[in-house]
Amino acid sequence: MFAQRTFVSTDKVSEGVAMFKEYSLYSIDKLFHLAFEQAPIAMALFGTDSKLYHVNGSFCEIVGFSSEQLSGQPLGLIVHPDDAPAMERLIAALLRGRGGESCESESRFVHSGGHTVWAKLRLCLIRDEQAGSLFFIAQVTDITKSKEAQQELELGRLRYQSLLDHHPDLIFSLDLDGYVVLANEAFQEAFGVKPADFKTRPLHFKTLTAPDYLADTEYRFQEALKGTPQRYEAVGIDAGGNRIVFDVTNIPIVMDGQVVGVHGMSRNVTKQKELWHKQQESEHKYRLISENCLDIIACCSADGLCEYVSPSLERILDYNPAQWLGKPVHAWIHPHDMEGIGQVGPFLSRDTHTFEFRALHRSGSYVWIESAVRIIRSETGQPYKILSVWRDISDRKRTEKKLRAAKERLESFMYHNVDPIVMFDTETRVLQVNEAYERTFGWKEKEIAGLHLYDYRFVPEEQLPEVERNLIKLRAGVSIPSYETVRMHKDGTRLNIILTAFPLWDESGNIAGCSIMLRDNTERKQAEEHMMNREKLSIAGQLAAGIAHEIRNPITAIKGFIQLMNSGVKEKKLYFDIISSEVERIESILSELLLLAKPQNAVFSRHDIALLLEQVVTLLDSQAIMSNVMIVTDFDPCSVVVSCDENQLKQVWINFIKNAIEAMPGGGKVAVKLRKPDNGRIVICITDEGCGIPQTLLDKLGQPFYTTKEKGTGLGFMVSRRIIENHKGTLEVRSQVGLGTTIEVNLPVEPSLGSGHL
C-alpha cells in the first residue's frame, strides 16, 4: 500500500541532533524551538513508542488538532486505521536499522473534522550512540488535492477501459493513415486479431471493408479527418469471410486543435437488417391486402346464408364478422331497397348484378352501399356460392345530395334573377341563359345553346381584346369584378352594361366553365350623359369668357394692323406676317378647345408603350437639339404592352415633352423613364431641368385657359389629362422651383393573350 523509498542520511550529525544527544527533549534550545514552531513544513516529533512529543503549527493545520490536544497522544490517533499497520511496520523497520535512518511514504491522516487527509511523510530516526534510538522527526506534506486528482484520473481511465473492454459494439481508433491503433475485445473477436498484431502486422480499415463499400468508407474517413463526424452504413468482412452489416460512427480525435486520428464505433446490425427486410416484405404484403380489401367481401351460400365476411365489415358497419356467419345477408338490407334486388329466381338466373341499397349499421342507422355481386356456379351450372363486394358510398350519396341542392339553388338564382345571366363551358360555348338574358338581348336559349361566344354577334369587335383578358383571368380561377362595357342586342343595338363574371367549379375542384352577369346600364348611362351636358352648360360661361379674352387680343392686333395698312404705310409684309401669326394663334385656340369639348372616339388596340415613346422622342429630337436640349431615355428592359389609342397617347407624350423643352430656354436635359413595378401597371416619368413651378401655381394646372407659358392656352394640359383618364390612368405633377418639373403618368398593363378556351 505504501511506496517506500530509503534515503542515506547525510545530515544525521547536525547541531540540532547534537543538542538532543547532550540534552533531554525538554531542554531544546529556544532558537531551535522557534524555528521548529514557525517552519512552513509540517513537522512532528514522536518517540519510539509512537507517542507524540511535539508538533508545529503547520502540522496542526493539516490534521485540525491543536498542539496541546496531540501532545502525549499516540500517533495512531491521527493515522487512518487502514494505514496504521503499514505505519507501524515502517517505524519498526527504521528501529531495526533496515533501510537506513530515514524513509518516505504516503499515508492518510484523520482530520479532526472527520475527513481524510492524504500526506507525504519523510520519517527520520534520531539516534544517540550511547543511548540508542531517541525519537523520530516527521516532515509532512499535504497531497490531498493531487491524490484526489490522480484518483479521479485513474477512475476515469478504469471506467473508459471498462467501457472499451465490455462494450458489445466494435470500438476502435485509427491513425491519420487509416491504420488500427486501438481496438476493444468485440473488435478483436469480430475480425480475429490481437492487440499485439497492430504493431507486428499493421491493420488498415480497407482490409476489413467489403469491396463494394470501400469508396464510401474511404470518403467517410476523409470527412472525419476534416473534423466532421460521420454516421453511415458499411459492410465488413469478418475473420471467417462473412459479410457483416455495421452501423458505423466516425468521430475525429482532436488534440491541441488538430485532428490526429479517428475514433470509430460499429454496431453489428446484420440481424436487424435482415429483420427489417422481412418486415418490409411483410408490410408490403399486408399493404396489398389492406388496399384491396377496403370493401366488405362476403361469400354466401346459394340460399343467401353468410359463410364468410371480411374484417372490413367491422370498419364499415361496426359488426364483428362472427355476428353474420350462418345468417341471411338480406336481414341487414333496408326493406324498401329489397324491392330493387328482386326475387330469388330472377336474381340467380344472371351471373352478375350491381345494386345500391342501405345496409343496417350496428348503431341503428343506415349506410349507403354499392354492391357488385357474382354468382359462382358448379360444373352443372347450378349456383352454389354468391360472392359480393360491398362498398360504402355514403360520402358519394351525401355529395350527390349537396350537388343537387347546389344545382337547384344555382338554377333558382339564375332563372329568377332580374339581371341577365349566361353560362359558358370550358370551350366558351353557351350552356344556358335565363329569361332576363332573353328579354334584354333578344336571343332565346334554344337559339344559342351550344354556340361559341364568337359564333353569334354578342360582343362588339372592339371589345374582343377585353373578352380575351377576362378569359385569361377566368381560366386562372380569378373572378372579374363589376365594370362597364358594351354588348350587342340581337337586332344590332349596342347596350351599355355592367359585367361581372366568375368561374364555375365541378365536384373535383376543376374549372368547368364560367357565369357572366350582365346588368343593363343604358338608362343610367343616359342619365350620366344628361348630367354631363348640364355640367358642360354650367361651365359654358367660363369657357366663353376665356375664349373672348384669348381671341380678343389677336383680333385687336389684326384690326390695328389692318388700319395701319389702310393708312398707306409701307411695312405691309411685316404687318401681314404679324396678322398671319395671330390668325394661327386663334386657330390653335379653337382646335384645342374643340378637342377638349368634343373629343374623337378612341380606338383601342395593343401597343408597346416603349415603342410609342421612342417614336415621339425621335420626332422631337431635332427640335430639342435646336433648343440646346438633350432627351435621355431610361426604359426597363422588358416589353410592356398597353391597350390604348395610339394617336391620343402620342399626343400626350408630344405635349409633355414639348412643354419640358420649352421650360428650358437656356438648354438642359429631359429625362424620359419607363418603369414596370410588380402591380400590373407602368409608370412613365418626364423630368426637365427648368425653373420649376411654385406650389400656388401648381394647384391651378388644368383649369381652362390657365397656363404658365407666355403663349400657352392651358387647353393642352386639360386634353392630355382627359386622354390619360380615358385610358384608366392617373397623372401627377411634381415641381421644385429652381430644380425642374416631373410629370408622372401611371397606366394599366395589358396581359398577354391566351386561347379562347377556359
Segment among 80-94, 285-299, 354-368, 479-493 with least mean pLDDT = 285-299
Confidence category of residue 303, pLDDT binned at 50, 70, 90 = confident
C-alpha cell at 275: 429483420
Q: What is the pLDDT of residue 535?
A: 43
Q: What is the pLDDT of residues 230-244, one digit of tens each?
A: 999 999 888 788 898
Instruction: State yes or no: pLDDT of 559 exceeds 80.
Output: no
Are the C-beta atoms of residues 687 and 742 closer than 8 Å to each other?
A: yes
Instruction: Report how far apart, in Å, the C-alpha atoms of 150 and of each of 81, 144, 242, 424 are.
Output: 22, 10, 44, 91
Task: Please check whether residue 211 is in contact with residue 298, taking contact to mean a CB–CB distance below 8 angstroms.
Answer: no
Q: Tell me the per-residue pLDDT of 17-75, one tens digit each, with 9 for 90 and over.
A: 444 445 444 444 566 777 788 788 889 988 888 898 889 988 998 888 988 888 889 98
Please provide residue 483's backbone torsions phi and psi, each rounded to the nearest 5 degrees.
-155, 160
**CA torsion angle for 187, 191, 192, 195 (degrees, to 10)?**
-50
Q: Is the CATH number 3.30.950.10 carried by domain 293-392?
A: no
Torsion of CA 18, 23, 26, 29, to 10 degrees: -50
Average pLDDT over all residues of the chain: 81
- Give the percent of the chain with pLDDT over 70: 80
Greatest Cα pair distance in the chain = 173
The per-residue pLDDT for 534 is 53
Specify burial of residue 588 (Cβ count, 10 A radius: 0-12, 13-18, 19+): middle
The CATH number of the structural domain formed by 167-273 is 3.30.450.20
pLDDT of residue 410: 74
* β-bridge partners, 268: 246
What is the rounded average pLDDT of the residues 160-177? 82
Q: Does position 183 have pLDDT exceeding 60, yes or no?
A: yes
Q: Which residue has the higher pLDDT, 210 or 406?
A: 210
Res. 538 pLDDT band, cuts 50 70 90: very low
Contact assessment for residue 16 and residue 32, using Cβ atoms and an 8 Å cutoff: yes
Produce one character per residue of 634-668: b if its CB has 16 or more CB atoms within 10 Å, e if not: ebeeeebbbbbbeebbbbbbebbbbbbbbbbeeeb
CA-to-CA distance for 13 and 362, rounded, in angstroms? Answer: 112
What's the CATH code, domain 401-520?
A: 3.30.450.20
Backbone φ/ψ region at 213: left (φ over 0), alpha (ψ -120 to 50), beta: alpha
- Amino acid letter for position 566: N
Provide the pLDDT for residue 508. 80
Residue 756: which pLDDT band, with cuts at 50, 70 and 90?
very low
Segment 384-437, tens digit of pLDDT: 899 888 899 988 888 888 878 877 787 777 787 888 999 999 999 999 999 999
pLDDT in the model for residue 17: 44
Q: What is the CA radius of gyration of the chain?
A: 56
Question: Residue 588's pLDDT is what?
Answer: 59
Residue 670: pLDDT band by 50, 70, 90 thresholds?
very high
Digit-coded pLDDT (tens) for 715-755: 677 778 888 888 889 999 898 888 899 999 999 988 765 44
* Amino acid present at 618: T
Residue with cell 440646346: 628
pLDDT at 346: 65
SS3 letters across 272-330 = HHHHHHHHHHHHHHHHHHHHHCCCEEEEEECCCEEEEECCHHHHHHCCCHHHCCCCEHH
Over range 284-297, report the average pLDDT.
Answer: 68
Residue 708's pLDDT is 56
Range among 163-172, 283-292, 475-484 with highest mean pLDDT value? 475-484
Q: In what order do the strands lie in the sheet with 430-433?
A: 430-433, 421-425, 511-520, 494-505, 480-488
Q: For the structural domain made of 605-748, what CATH number should be given? A: 3.30.565.10
Name which of 8-12, 84-88, 559-563 the model is least confident about. Answer: 8-12
Q: What is the mean pLDDT of residues 267-279?
A: 85
- Which residue ranges does the chain devote to CATH 3.30.450.20? 5-149, 167-273, 293-392, 401-520
Q: To the nearest whole percent, how much of the chain has pLDDT over 90?
A: 23
Q: What is the pLDDT of residue 723?
A: 86
pLDDT of residue 191: 83
CATH architecture for residues 5-149: 2-Layer Sandwich (3.30)
pLDDT in tens, 80-117: 999 889 888 888 888 887 645 788 888 999 998 889 89
Q: What is the pLDDT of residue 218?
A: 93
* Other C-beta atoms lying within 10 Å of the C-beta of residue 564: 13
**How many Å apart are CA 705 and CA 547, to the nearest integer?**
8
Return the amino acid letter for 325: L
8 A C-beta contact, residue 331 and residue 324: no
Residue 4 has pLDDT above 50, yes or no: no
Determine the pLDDT at residue 28.
Answer: 46
- Asked if pLDDT for residue 132 goes beyond 70, the answer is no
User: Does residue 453 register a pLDDT over 80?
Assistant: yes
Please check the confidence at residue 598 and state whether its pLDDT lies above 60.
no
Taking residue 128's Cβ as centre, other Cβ atoms within 10 Å add up to: 13
pLDDT of 1: 36
pLDDT for res 444? 92
Phi, psi torsion values for 261, nearest 5 degrees: 170, -170
What pLDDT, on the 0 to 100 scale, is given for residue 397?
Answer: 86
Q: What is the pLDDT of residue 550?
A: 61
Higher-confidence position of 710 and 197: 197
Q: Average pLDDT of 472-501?
A: 91
Please name the residues in contact with 352: beta carbons below 8 A apart, sequence gap of 6 or more. Answer: 372, 373, 374, 375
Q: Examine the pLDDT at 562 and tell me if it is beyond 80.
A: no
3-class SS of residue 730: strand
CATH number of 530-597: 3.40.50.300, 3.50.50.60, 1.10.287.130, 3.30.530.20?
Answer: 1.10.287.130
d(CA 506, CA 402): 12
DSSP 639: -
